[in-house]
Amino acid sequence: MFEALREGLGEEMERDPNVCVIGEDVGDYGGSYKVTKGFSEKFGSWRVLDTPIAENSFTGMAIGAAMTGLRPVVEGMNMGFLLLAYNQIANNCGMLHYTSGGQFTIPVVIRGPGGVGRQLGAEHSQRLESYFQSVPGLQMVACSTPYNAKGLMKAAIRCENPVILYEHVLLYNLKEKIPDEEYTCCLEEAEMVRPGTDITILTYSRMRYHVTQAAKTLVDRGYDPEIIDIRSLKPFDMYTIGESVKKTHRVLIVEECMRTGGIGASLRSAIMESFWDELDGPIGCLSSQDVPTPYSGPLEELTVVQPHQIVTAVENLCGKK
């Protein structure tokens, strides 16, 4: 997947000389997960700008660059570090188009590794989607495969809105054959992973794989789950989600985000508001525990939703078969 991200970013830098990369170790080192490997030599140090450890400063610099016509891609070495740039992202990146009366567009992409890794500790296991979902003016997408990683990267760079692209730290080594010809993925569109009739399971990022793993057990037990990777965390693709709910009438949300104030809470609310009459039961939601992620491997695993919990939740929502 990291190669797909690099390919997408590289193609856009070749296509548009206004695209540039800003962040820590993005130059000679090639990025913390090698997404910009070789870019410094290819595009030069002005377009691949290594910065000091100063997230607030270089994120603000990227926003200012976007106001003047550039299309910066900001890499957070770890997404948790971008909390230091929260003011720039919330008050400037998201709002400047509105507060300038439409005089400025802010075509910035903010991307980097996040999520619960393997014993990275609490500060390196942040899920920032819950922090940024309420900021007006931001779009948010989460990639989950090499195919959609490249397609979402290219679409995000071309978008006139500021886009946060979430990449899960444990998915970088995923392998998949992707097309040689150019393509993009729609930033506002969910992906149907598996059609089914019994229950709609909505998920994204790494949890897509926990859900598909659980689905094998569910199918063996006679269930037919429909799995949707929502991909667009803001705005939600309510058309795709709604069509599925109208078919299955049951919903389970599976996320790695925190339970309190997370993506799942917002999605559950949106479904109840728009499709209440289509539901045959309560909406289930499996989320991470509201605790700092432990360094201990076994304890870390207990804080994140596991496949057996998904199986149990579906059986409870649909009834035993």
- 3-class secondary structure for 114-152? ECCCCCCCHHHCCCCHHHHCCCCCCEEEECCCHHHHHHH
CB distance 163 to 110 below 8 Å: yes
The angle, 0 to 180 degrees and rounded to 10, between the axes of the packed helices 307-318 and 207-220 is: 50
d(CA 181, CA 186): 16
Which of these, 106, 79, 72, lies nearest to 91 by C-alpha position? 106
Phi, psi of 112 (to 5 degrees): 155, 175
Is 97 one of the annotated active-site residues of the chain? Answer: no
Is 168 one of the annotated active-site residues of the chain? Answer: no
The catalytic residue among 12, 97, 124, 256 is 124
Structure tokens at 79: 């997404």
CA distance to 23, 40, 92, 162, per residue, from 26 (Å): 6, 8, 23, 20
d(CA 251, CA 199): 6
The catalytic residue among 55, 75, 167, 300 is 55
User: Which positions are annotated as active-site residues?
Assistant: 55, 124
